[in-house]
Amino acid sequence: MKPRIIVDMDNTMYPSKFAQACHDLYGVPTSRDVELLKWEWHKDYGLTDDQFYAAVNMVHASQEDYDPFPGAVEALADWKGRGLHITIATHRRPEQTNFTPLLQWLWDNRVEYDAIYMGLHGKEALFGPGAIVIDDRPSTIEAAVRANCDLVVTLAHPYVKKTVEDFFPFSRMGENWDEIRKIVNIHLEEENSWKDGLA
């Protein structure tokens, strides 16, 4: 069975700028820095979850306006070249039925992948031994560790650092995608050495 990598989209493959969308919709005086400090930061501004997800949907509808994080596309191409199975796994709400912007973004940015999972819940069904998970949601990181995924990695956003520290060494952080790629590749090399030793 191919090793598999499960990769999130928002604030993992690209900076999603949900705070800017909340500002545009509701006049919230906020910035990208605020978005990165706390997971449910929108509640501090009196926004409901429904209001926040309306802003998220707005970002998703204009996916083409966002560039990938430097190194993200190259990392997936590297892993695809090594024979890994790559799933893009991203939360999407039931009312969001137009997936064309996401698919177009993946195409335009030449993102290499094997499968896409889109849904509000259920990403955890993909987890388990043999999986490497790259995600920024604290509860998803915890779920991946508890599902005995081989490795869980995230960009070092401030809102996720406590979760990573709580589950270290099963979860790791990279300051950028070059570091994430290095962490994953070291893990893959160690796994291959271990398997070679058993042969």
Specify the number of domains making up the chain: 2
Residue 149 belongs to domain with CATH number:
3.40.50.1000
Which pLDDT tens digit goes with each residue over 78-127?
999 999 999 999 987 666 666 788 999 999 999 999 999 987 667 888 99
Same domain flag for 147 and 107: yes
Which pLDDT tens digit goes with each residue over 32-87?
777 888 888 999 999 999 999 999 989 998 989 999 999 999 999 999 999 999 99
Question: How far, CA to CA in Å, does 87 sit from each of 20, 41, 123, 190?
Answer: 28, 28, 10, 22
Of the pLDDT bands very low, low, confident and very high (cuts 50, 70, 90), residue 2 is confident
Same domain flag for 84 and 168: yes
Residue among 13, 67, 8 at smallest CA distance from 176:
13
Same domain flag for 164 and 180: yes
Same domain flag for 60 and 98: no
Residue among 73, 88, 70 at smallest CA distance from 8:
88
Quote the domain boundaries for residue 34: 18-65
Same domain flag for 124 and 77: yes
Same domain flag for 176 and 97: yes
The predicted model gives 167-190 an average pLDDT of 95
Q: What are the DSSP calls for the chain, one per residue?
A: ---EEEE--BTTTB---HHHHHHHHH-----HHHHHH-TTGGGGGT--HHHHHHHHHHHHHTGGG-PPPTTHHHHHHHHHHTT-EEEEEEE--TT----HHHHHHHHHTT---SEEEEESS-GGGG-STTEEEE---HHHHHHHHHTT-SEEEEE--GGGHHHHHHHTTTEEEESSHHHHHHHHHHHHHHHHHHHHHH-
CB of 92 closer than 8 Å to CB of 120: yes
Distance CA 171, CA 154 (A): 8
The angle subtended at Cα 68 by Cα 94 and Cα 117, nearest 5°, is 30
Same domain flag for 73 and 60: no
* Tokens at 175, concatenated: 């300051």
Q: What does the pLDDT read at residue 33?
A: 76
Same domain flag for 82 and 57: no
Same domain flag for 182 and 97: yes
Which pLDDT tens digit goes with each residue over 139-178?
999 999 999 999 999 999 999 999 999 999 889 999 999 9
Q: What does the pLDDT read at residue 47?
A: 93
Same domain flag for 53 and 72: no
Same domain flag for 72 and 61: no
Same domain flag for 58 and 85: no
Q: Which of 9-13, 43-47, 193-197 holds the top average pLDDT? A: 9-13
